[in-house]
Amino acid sequence: MPRTTDRAGPGYRPSRHLEFSPEGWTVREHNLIEEAQVCLYLNGQELVTLTCSPVDLEELAIGFLRSEGLIASLSDIEAFSVADSGSCIDVLLTDVSVTPAGRRVLTSGCGGGVTFIDEQNLTRVPDGPPVLATELTAMMRELIRVEGLRSAARGVHGSALGRGGSLVLIAEDVSRHNCVDRLWGKAIRGDLDVAGMVLLTSGRISSEMVMKAARLAVPIVASQRSPTTLACDLAERLGITLCGYVRPPRVRVYTNAFRIAGTIPA
């Protein structure tokens, strides 16, 4: 089973609360998921403030920069540092002239995410071998059962990259968009080519999730929840197969059904 984080413990903290039941009020103990605002500086300039889980910030920053097209590999990074407080990440690129090329878009993500991706510059995702619906449900079942922040505290999203019915990488964060960036950060650090894999997520599939999938060259995106209309329109144009409400044993296929073995394209 791939690990969701390289650090044990951080990401949640113990809390006490009052709980009402038919028997009356009781003091209970429960873990709360941590949420932090972390400022990312690029070449000495403030780029964005990420609302995120404050763990493994290096992989999150690397994945975000790659997702936004600001780096292509680790070799593009000259220096990297995370403040002791965990509230600031400084990244210096080998090319200090690099800046976001697209317009700043406020997304529908948790906390109001930001992306600089211009959908007009995205290209169609290459076709890959068909995937069985049972492979999708098996991978979603594995994601749901992962023992990480969600099992310790709840209140987080999970995402994964998989193939052949098994998960390869898993990430968790308070933001579903950060989960995808974390996956790419893990892949870059592990020198892993993710093109052609399946992207699974516990959260809603919005248009920016589809754009991130296109950047990853991932042909299939599957979620426990629903896609939006804009996500479906964009996925149709980019050749991405969107699967929603993947709740074993059922799967709904919204776009480009030819990649799911046994279906009849609409």
Q: Could you give the residue numbers annotated as active site?
A: 110
What does the alpha-carbon distance between residue 183 and residue 198 come to, in Å, rounded to a whole number? Answer: 12
Q: Are 225 and 247 in contact (CB under 8 A)?
A: no
Closest CA to 131 of 205, 222, 215: 222
Strand partners, 14: 31
- The 8 Å CB, 24+ separation contacts for 66-71 are 66/181, 66/184, 66/185, 66/188, 66/215, 67/117, 67/180, 67/181, 67/184, 67/212, 67/215, 67/216, 68/100, 68/115, 68/116, 68/117, 69/101, 69/116, 69/117, 69/215, 70/42, 70/98, 70/100, 71/98
Q: Are 193 and 225 in contact (CB under 8 A)?
A: no
